[in-house]
Each structure stands twice: as structure tokens, then as C-alpha cells.
Structure 1
Amino acid sequence: ALGVTLNESTRQKDVNSVFHDGLILIPGFRPFAFVFSSLGPHSTSCARSFTWELCRTCGGTLSGSGQIRSPYHPNPYPHSKTCEWVITQSPGQVVTFSFESFDIEGSSTCSFDYVEVKDGTSVSSPLIGKYCGTQMPPAAQSTQRSMYVRFVTDSSVSNHGFTAQYAAIMERKYRQTFLTSPNYPNNYPVYRECIYRIIVSVNRQIMLNFTDFALEPTYPSCLYDYVEIRDGGYETSPLTSRYCGTTTPPIIMSHSNRLWIKFRSDMTSTYRGFMAHWDGNPRRHGENMQTPRREDPGSEPRSPNCCGGTLTTSSGSFTSPNYPLPYHPNSECYWILQASGGSQEELRFEVFHLESSTNCNYDFLEVSGSNSPLLAKLCGNQIPAPIRSSRENLYVKLRTDASIGAGGFVAVYSQGRWSSQKQNQMSSSVSVCQGVVIRGLNRGVLESPNYPGLYPHSKHCNWTIEATVGNTVNYTFTAFSMEPYCNYDYLYDGPDSQSTLIGTFCGSSPPPPNTTTGRHLHVVFASDPSVSHPGFQMLWFQNGCGGVFTAPAGELHSPNFPSPYPPNVDCSWVLNVDRGHRVLLTFNEFEIENHNACNYDYLVYDGPDANAPLLGKLCGLNMPAAITATQSTMYIRFRSDSSFNHKGFSTAAMSLELHSRSFDI
């Protein structure tokens, strides 16, 4: 028997003196190979026939800078393996993480072999990305001092695996600053990709303002050089828009406290680039407003920079943000009108101009009372009738979408006492929150009853959010204040309370952002007969392809476009325009696997679903002609099989008035 002793301090030296190219060299003997297994307390069996390989258990706790790799790299990784790394840096630092090589078994949902990167210390931390295949993943950066990395393999196919570098950089926190393209104001370099993440305090929004913008113009799809903005902190967050050319983008207001921005240039033309200023201090969610001294102590200031506030004076006024200019897109503002001494509040409007829509689904103003149903939901250009509270306080909420902005409003409030005969008699809808199924939307907001007012006692609510087939649901809690007893409030990864429990949450710490594993998210909320709190607000959006879009114009792309679409995807889009209009669909690029009957790949319907009349069955490499619906809704379904994948498609949709003449594109 041959004994070889290795210790931590002399391991490398001893191995080099004994082994050479996987062989044992003993003077006077022919070289031979053998199988070695390390069975120490920090090792796993990593025997490899006719080779020598020194290994330890994969995973671990790391800090500083270094490299991690899949087991046996560059040889194929083992089956049925799970490796977990937690990278933790010093306070005031964050983690950067980038792959140097990447070759993992691929699948459309990365469900076989994959690498997960999460923003935190555990598997329940917010997901930054889940990766498989052979395409190099983007670089990642944590928003805190820790990052969690997990590598999982199944029992079948093995590829060569991956190597990745990690390092620490100083966390930079700004209240107001700017960002630029590389080399600005000189031309940016070719073939460059930069990721910018802006994060401000919870309950604040980010206003992004481009002051200079000059990129290669590739309208309408901005495929070559572009700036892409997503409303959230991750690459999977909802896409706000993609910009190129020399037209300065509009001011962008985030829906939450994070923005994700990507700049990309191709191999050809370069331009001056861009400069953008951002401000992380706009008010939201009812933060207290500081009232300066005024000649009239009973009047609140009208400030174009304020978005919401708590108003405690006996009378005053407030306006939409940016008034008298159009209000910002993607805004959400809350005002609390607090009366005193048993008084009640009356709210009147001097000016009122919000985007008009059926049921006020786009831009709207909601008014509710203390622990009471909704008093009014307002939009359009008609000045509403005065609104009076039945008790002391009024809650006013403004929400705007990403498209059309209008002039806004001027509201005047005052305190008084009114008899029951003179109370506001507006029709109100009782908040329905039991057995609610939310489907057919690509994003939304879920709130506890009366939010941001106190939720009612003895209330039982459950909601199910349903994404389209093949998609998942991303969710983020932007406000959370509950009684500190976790007996009633649950999140389930599935369609009902029999699904996998994500967690039980209470108190003032919001649940961490996360993504479901399937197409459903089930939320259960219950209150007891005693203490009430403001409750919660949760933002959610579909992660994947497809969705419901309501806008006068927009673009649709196949998944991964302009790269090949993945196999076995099933995407459905519903395009809605205003009544009295119809949907026009034109194609910018089209490369889909060809079939004789084109029954499966790209189907267009004249209506809201697959039961509507079929307008077209499309496949192959020929550019289709424009398709026009006869009504205000169009349904599109794209499916791919498990065989050949092509570049996919890029389409543009727009709204046409029904009486307008048709024209060639």
C-alpha cells in the first residue's frame, strides 16, 4: 500500500513533489495511475478513474474577491448535485458577480440544470437571475452586502459547467446625481453593454430626466444601439420602454423605489451617447409635508414637486404633481386630509383633467373615508361634485399609467359639520376581496381594504393572481404595516391555499420580493376584531411573454428577440384600444419555423380570445402583410415546438379610428 499524507499548509507542495500529470512517479518503477477519494470532514468523494483530482465540497461562505466554478470544471459536472455559495462583503460594500465561462444543460424554463443568483443570503432572497444554456449571462450586482449563488443539476445530461468571478465594491448611495454613457460627451465605444441600477429608500420614487441623448437611430424597434429602462431593480422587471435616435426620452417616474437601466451598442456606428439626471426624493405614500410660514396660516402650499402628503390645516389646496404642466407617468400619490375636533372634510375641485377611459382604468383619482367604502373613482374632464366625509378623515389617491398624461387637477378642502341629510350621497362600491381572481392583466397593484387608511376589523380576503400559460408572477411589497401576530396573512405559490406556502407575514417588515414557480400567486389577508393598521400594498407583474396591453401604440417581440426564441413556449397577447378604434398590426421582422398549414406558430384573432374569427395563420421567413382588426381588440398567440428555433418576430401595433381609410404600410 502507498500512503500519501496531505495537510492544508503543505498540500500544493506535497502534491507537486509526488504527482506529475496524474501519474505517481517513483524512482526505479514504471509510472502508474490510481483512483483517489478524499473522505475528510470537509470533502466529498470525487474519485475519477485513471486521473488525479483534488476537490472539496462545492459551495461555502466567501468574502472579498475570487472565483467559483462548477465541480470538476472544465470537465462535465456531476449529476444530482446542489452547490450553494454565500458571498458576504464588509459593511458599506456590495457584491459584483460575472461569469467567465458558461455551459449548462439548457431548457426553456431552466428547470433541469441551472445557476440561480439572488440578492441576499438565502434561497428566499429576491431573484436576480436564473440561467442555463450556453449564452453568457449578464453581470450581476447585489443591492446589499451579500449575494447567494446556487448551482443545481439533475440526474441526466452534464455539460462543462461554469466559472465566475466575484468582488467587492463600495455601495454608492445618492439622493440626486447623474449617469452617462461610456466616454460621454465623446462617442461611446462599439460593442458595449452597461447596467445601471438606481435604488432609493422604500416609499420613494425615482424621477429620471435625460438632458442629452444621441444614439444610433434604428426606428421603430431600436435593435442596435439603445437605452432600455425597466420599472424595478432587476432584468426581469416590467419594461418601461426602449429608446434610441436623437429624440430626448420623456421624464420617467418609477412605480417603486428602483430602476434598472441597460445601455447597449453594436459593432458599427457610434454617437455622442447620453446624460441623465435622477432624483430619489419625490414624495409619495403620504409622507408628512413641512408647511412653511405663510400670511394665511390655514392654507397649504401648492408645490409642483410634492406627490402626496398629510394635510392637517382647517382649509387649503393641493394639486397633481407638476401642475399646471401635465402630470408624470407611472405616478402614485396619496393625500390624507385630517380633520380635528369631530369635524368632517369637504373636497372640491377647481380644475380637473385626467385621461378619460371606461371605468377609469388608466389614470384615476380615488377618494375614500376612514374605515369606509370607496366614495368616488374619478377621471375625465368633468369637474366632480363636492365630496364629503362621513367621519373625520378623507383619503385621496392618484394613480397614472405609462402613456397619456393630462393637465391634472386643483383640489380645495375645508373642514365643517354637516347633518346626515346633507352628507355626500355618491354611490359607492363595497370593496370585494373574497375569492377574487385577477387574470388577463400583465401588471397590477393589490392593496388591503381602505389602504392607506386603517383596514377594517374582522375582514377576510383572498386574491388569486393568474398569469398566462408559461409565465410566472413577480411581486414586491411597497408598504407593509400589520398587527404583529402572524396568524392570518399568507402567501401561496399556486392558485389556492392548498398550494406551497411561501410564508406567513405580519408586523412592519415586508415580505421579500420574489417570483412564483408557476403561473399563480394566492394571497390571504385576515384581520381580527381588535387592532387595525394601514395594511399593505403589493406591486405585481407577469414575468415571461404575453400579456394584456392597453395603449394607442406599442411593440411586441418574441421571447429573446433578436436571439432565437426558446423551445416549447406558449405566449398570448391581448391588444386593446379605445372604443371606436381598431387595431392595426404591422411586422418589422419575421423568422419563424415553417409548417405546411401554419397551425401552431403565430395566430391572429379578430377579438379578445381564440374563439374570435381567425385573421391570419403565419409562419416561415416571408414578411407578412399588415393585419387590421374590425374592432378594438386583437388576440395573438405564438407557440414554438421542441425542434427548430428561429430569430422570431418584431411587430408594431397601433390604434386606428374605425371611420379612417385603410392605407398601405
Structure 2
Amino acid sequence: CGSTEAININTLRNYTLQSPGYPDGYGHNLDCEWIFSTIPENHLQIDFYNVDLDYRFPCLYDHVEIYSGKNGVQDWDLLTNICLPNDTYRETIETTNLMKVAFKTDSYKNSTGFNAMITETCGGSVGKSSGIISVTNSTFSNLYSLRCQWNISVRTGRTIQIQFTVFDIGENADSKCNNYLLLRNGQSSSSPMLGDGKYCYHRPPTMQTTSNHLYVKFRTKTRVRGFTMKYNEVSINCGGTFSLSTLDNSTTISSPNYPNIPLPHTECKWLISAVPGESIQIDFIERFDLTDTLDCDKEYVEIRDGGTFLSPLIGRYCESMPSTIVSRDNMIFIKFFTDIEEPRNGFKLRASIAKCGGTIRDTTGEIRSRYFNNKKSYPKKENCTWEIVGPEGHFIIFSFETLDLAYRSQLCFADYVEIFEHSIIDYNNITSVGKYCYKNNDTDEIRTTSNKIQVRFTSSDRNLPAAGFLLKFTTSREKCGGSLENDFGIITSPRYPAIMFPTRCEWTIKVTKGKMIQVEILDLDFDTTRPSQGLAFSNSDNFAAHITFVKPNDKIKYINSTDNTMSVFFWAIHSSNHRGFKLRYTSDQPSICIADFSSPSGVIYSPQNCTYYHCIWKRVDGDASSRTLVLKISINNANNPGTSPLSSCKFTSSVTVTAGSKLANKFRF
């Protein structure tokens, strides 16, 4: 029983499906399957006219299973089971353009069987690049009281163009629009309208969606002639092919609508070529604003070393602006892709015949003259500029691994490499770090103070034998903070008194037990225009016992601890041209946390007349197993007798008792 091949309802219009032997009864242990199909623009439905099966709720014995094909393929979802006599009264069961009906019986009783009708109706999910949706008298015998919906999808990065060749749904300008066609610019009934949205009597014009989805709804209450709509996939107007030459040696490309956002679900491809033997240089310019996702799978710029999408991948970028890219081939393939509803502003790049120079955004790297290690001298009349950008708050260290230039002299007047650094505060303010044309002790390590560096290479008009140069760089940052265990010392902000950059530092000072720490502010120069720089002091190493904050314009001269420990925390959120700070700490005065905790008995008390304090007393017994230490803690709230201790405290105070490394108890007051 059943069918071995799919039954095409589109050619049959309808199909009467009956159980084997109907109406004289079916056999035992049947397992029958029928598969029905129609075109993607339509879907299938089944109505049961008679159901007489040996059943037991919920359809445990003989029953009919109805499946719907998933995504236009034979991947089935079970919709329902049919076994009850009153199933003939249920609503029509609808599937996609694929339907499977399975009839299963057991080895016990049997009955008459079932009788059903399978038909096709308009509406469905369409995933083709082009096609026709036609709801007319020639495609459907009954156009009365229709409710049809279509979801049309094409490839990501494309749009959909529609054109109506037939449109007569029985309405005029004076009617109430009982019959209508609804078009939405998206994939759901809540998407924005396409064109006027709702069309009743006049034929919709040729239109185009802004994404790769279109939603169509057709509703009739009276008999109509119907409509025929052609749809086809359209590529967004972007991408192209460019050829670079000696006269026309560069071009710029950008994401669609740059610097504004592109349309959602856009895909663009460019092929850039140069004459054989040349390489192509890619420099990203202005802004680079793409959505950062895992593996850059939702929005990216992809660059390949060659002329097709199968060429070796150079990189896929979405997070930050890439460094200069130079191809090995004379062709380069660029792809822009976005598959999100709200794209970012995109990118712009310049493609040119590669010479020298570029931008490097990295923590390490190297710069070399052309033809270096190719057993050829570098070209004459070179004028190359590299921009190196390291992480914020870092500086850059250079070293020449090779520096073999012509015209060596102390003045370096002909062929030379010169390093400049941009000001942290003003990028356009640039100063020379040094000019180099031969190796000496000065070229082993060249340290800058900025994270933005410019390297220039200049050669004369004479081509003399010389290997060129190889300059390596790495980024680093000024170390700050740490543990200080001397009884006196100096603390300064990083690079004091030079320009400050964004940083955070924490120092922990620990002096001899029994002494307190006094910090003297020798110099303090912070940015007063915004609260982005400051110092904080604490009596403990975890900032639980706050002493004070020091901000710009504060006139504080001395800061004292209560015991032998203090923490100093410095932050600078923004770069500035202010000096920073210089502190001197000493430990000439005794601690105010005085008590002898080593005696067999005694009294420990908190410091008197102090707003804040942090005291630690330690006791070490040689044989603790044979002794028991008893502590009695009394809280004296002398300022406000009869009130809660907590009510008179600005900050909650506490006494913590530990035994070894374990917390024994903690009292708050």
C-alpha cells in the first residue's frame, strides 16, 4: 500500500486518498505511506470526509499520521494523528508544498477505513532566485474567499524585484477593498509596507525590496480574475572591476552608501588588478566601523591574494582597522558582507600599485626597504612613509637589525631613515626622534614616548650598491606600582615629569612594625578641566580602610597612615600634557596602633580621637595546642550613649579575629 513516488497535486489539482480496501475494510499490520507535492508557490491541504478506525484515545491503535515537509525538503514534522470519528469535523489540515500521509494498523480489529481529499491552495515559502506567483482562473478553479500568504527569500546580499503582468481582483476606486493584495518589505506580516502596501484596484508598479525578503498576502471575499506576479533576484549596485596602471595607479572603494550605513544583508565584490609583476597595496582610510562578531561571520571585509573568491585568504576583518596590506599577486579580491538588520557605517580603502610605506597597527612588526634580501639594491628616489600605531598607553621600541645605506655620514644628508613621534595630546604635533644612516650604538635600541610613530625613508637620485634596512619594533608600557618595603622612598607617576598617558597604578608600602607612614606631596600637576586623574590613599592593602582622595587643585600636603602599611592608587583616564605627581614617604613617627599582644594578658584598644584607622595586632605562640586564648571585645560608643553603635558611624567599623589563615569571627559596629 502507499506510493513509491511523490504524487504531484499541481498537475492533478486534487487527489482522493482512501485506506486500502475502503469501504470494505482494511487489513492488519499495515504501514502505508503516501507523499504529495506541489510547486513552492503553493501549499497542500487535506480534508477527511469519513474516518472509521479501530481506535483508542489518544490514537494508540489504528491511526493516520499527517506530516509536513520542512524547508521544502523531505525532512518531516508530525502535525497530527487522525483516528476519531469526529475528526471529519476538524478544520482543514495545511502543510507546506510537501505532505506525507502514513496509515498504520495493528493486528486486532479493523473497520471501514478513511476517505480524504488532498488539494493545493495558494501561498507558501519560496527560496528560488526567480519565479512566478499566479493566482488566476487558469491555476485555481475557485478564487472565492481566499487567504494566501507567501514568504519569498533570495540569497543574502540581494534584493527582490517584482512585476505584475495580470492584476484584476474585482475592485474599483469606490469599493471597500474587500479583495486586496498586501506587500511588505521583509519576511513577516509586521515588516514595513512595500510601495503603497495595500493594492485593491490599480496594478502595483514594478518595485524592489531593500532586503532579500518579501512578504505577500492575498485576500478575496468575492470571485476575481486574480493576479500574476513575476519576481527575480537583483544584486545590489556595488562592487566592480578596476585596473591599475602607471598613469592611473590608485582607486578608492567603500561600502555602499558610505559614510552612512549600507542596506541590510548586502554583499559586494571587487576585483582589482595591476600589470603583471606589480603588487597591490591596500590602505584603509578614514573610518572603519563594522559589527564585531565571533569569527567576523555576520559583517566583514574579506581580502584574498588573487582574482577569485578561491584565492588564498589574506584576512577577514571586522573588529579594528587593519594595517596596510600588500598582495603577492598582481590581482586582489575584496568582498564586503553584512547579514544583520542594522549594519554599521562601513569602510573606505585605497588600492594602489605597491611601492613602499603604509600603516601598521600592531604590537610588534618590522619595516624593510624594497628589495631587501633580494640581492638587489633599494631603488633610487625613494620617499616612503610608514605610520605605526601601537596600543593606547604604550610606547614603541625600535632596533635596526640591518642598516646598510649609501652615503654614510654623521649628518645623514642623502640616504637615511628618520623616526618621528606624534604628540599624545596633538596628533599633528610631530617631532623627530632621530635620523639614521649607519649602524652604531644608537641604533641598537631607540625608545619613543608615544604610541603613534612615523618612519620615513629617503634615498637620493643615485643608485649605489647597498642592501637597505630592516627595522624591527615592539610596543611596551611603563611599569608602575608594586610593593615597597623600605622605610622611606620616592613615588612618581609614570614618565614624570613628562606627558601622562592613560594608566592605572597601585603601590603598597610596608615599613617596620611600630611605625606609621607619612606621605609628602612634593609636586602635583593634574588636568583640572575634567576629573580624569587622581590619587587615592588607604590604610590597608585592599583599600578597605580609606584615608583620602587627592584631586586636581587640592592643597593637601601630608597624608598619614595609622599603622605600618599604606596603599597608593593613581589613575589617569585620558592623556594630558601635565606633569603628574611626585611623592616622598617616610616612617619617622610611631604607629598609633599601640599594644603588647605578646603578653599573657592585657588590653588592646582602638586609637583615640581618630576619624579613620586600620590596626593589625599579631600574636605567635610556640605551642598553641596546649593553650587557649580568650578574647573579650567591648564596644564603647561614648559619643552617643544609649544609641546604636552603627548610627553614629559614618563608615561601618569592624574587628576581625583570625586563627592562622582561618577567620574566627568578625564584629561590625
TM score, norm. by length of structure 1: 0.32
* Structure with the higher fraction of residues in strand conformation: 2
Compare CA radii of gyration and give the structure with the larger one.
2
What TM-score comes out, normalization by structure 2 length? Answer: 0.32
